[in-house]
Chain A
Amino acid sequence: DAKTTQPTSMDCAEGRAANLPCNHSTISGNEYVYWYRQIHSQGPQYIIHGLKNNETNEMASLIITEDRKSSTLILPHATLRDTAVYYCIVRVEERGATNKLIFGTGTLLAVQP
C-alpha cells in the first residue's frame, strides 16, 4: 500500500500558484519524498525530490514540514499544460535498495483558463 495520501483532485487558475499537499505520516528517516506527474496516457515525468530541506528546480518547489510528516509541491505559475495527475511517493534512497515505487492514486490537478 502507498505510504502517502493526497487529495483526489484540485483546481487552479492559470497563472496562479498550484499548491499540492501530500501526507506521509509514517515516513522513515531514510525515505525521500518524490514527486512525479503524468499527463494523460503518457509516462510519469519526474518533477522533484527531497529528504528534509526545501528544494527548488526549474519546474517546482518542494516544501517539507520539519517533522517530515507532510509536504507540498508548488508550481509557481500554473499553465494549462500542467494539467495532470501528480503523484507523491516516498522511497528509501540508498545504493542497493529496491527501485520499486509504490504509487497511490495521486491528485488530478486541473488548471482552468
Chain B
Amino acid sequence: KAGVTQTPRYLIKTRGQQVTLSCSPISGHRSVSWYQQTPGQGLQFLFEYFSETQRNKGNFPGRFSGRQFSNSRSEMNVSTLELGDSALYLCASSVYRGEETQYFGPGTRLLVL
C-alpha cells in the first residue's frame, strides 16, 4: 500500500506570496493532520481534518488555512508569506480520528526569501 504523499517536495517563494501544499493520505484513510517543523519551535500541530471538516486547529495565525476534499486529499494554504514560515510542512493520515496510528508523509520543504 502506498504511503502518504506530499507535493511539492521542495518550494521556494518570496515574502508576500502565497503557497498551497498538497497531501494525499494512505488509501482508505479519512483523517489528515498538518504539522510545521522549524529548528526553533520543533514539530507543531497546525490543524486536522476528518470528513472534509476541520476538527481541531493549532495556535497559528489566520494566514494558515486548509481544506479536505471528498476523496480525503488535503491542501494547506499560507497567504502573505513571511520569512518565518520557512519550514518543513508535514502531513499525517489515519483511518479515523482518535483511535488509529497516524503515518506521516515525507514533508514539503518551504523556503521563503
* Complex contact A49–B97 (CB within 8 A): no
B25 to chain A, nearest CB (A): 12
Cβ A43 vs Cβ B90 within 8 A: yes
What chain A residues lie within 8 Å of B44 (beta carbons)?
103
B45 located at the interface, meaning its Cβ lies under 8 Å from any Cβ of chain A in the complex: yes
* Interface of B: prevailing SS: strand
Binary per-residue interface labels of chain A (99-110) against chain B in the complex, 1 for a CB within 8 Å, 0 otherwise = 111111100000
Tell me whether chain A's interface is mostly helix, strand or loop, or mixed.
Answer: loop
Please pick, from B42, B43, B102, B107, the residue contacting A42 in the complex, using a CB distance under 8 A: B107
* Least Cβ–Cβ distance between A1 and chain B, in angstroms: 12
Interface residue from B101, B105, B107 paired with A46 (Cβ < 8 Å): B101
The distance in angstroms between the C-alpha atoms of A36 and B109, with both chains bound, is 20
Indicate the size class of the contact surface on chain A.
Answer: 20 to 34
A8 near B: Cβ within 8 Å?
A: no
Contacts of A95 in B (CB 8 A): 96-99
One of B4, B58, B99, B104 near A100 (C-beta < 8 A):
B58
Decide if A55 is an interface residue (CB 8 Å cutoff).
no
Number of A-B contacts (CB under 8 A): 73
A91 (CB) vs chain B CBs: closest residue: B98
* A42 contact set on B, CB distance < 8 A: 106-107
Q: Report the minimum CB–CB distance from A28 to chain B (whole Å).
A: 14
Q: How distant is the Cα of A101 from the Cα of B90 in the complex, in angstroms? A: 12
Q: Is the CB of B109 within 8 A of A92?
A: no
Residue numbers in B under 8 Å from A105 (CB-CB) = 42
CA distance A49 to B102 in the complex (A): 11
A window 42-63: CB within 8 A of B = 42-46, 49
Distance from B105 Cβ to chain A, minimum over Cβ atoms (Å): 5
Identify which of A45, A93, A102 contacts B99 (C-beta below 8 A).
Answer: A93
A-B pairs, 3 with minimum CB distance = A97-B98, A43-B104, A103-B43
| B12, chain A: closest CB distance, angstroms | 16
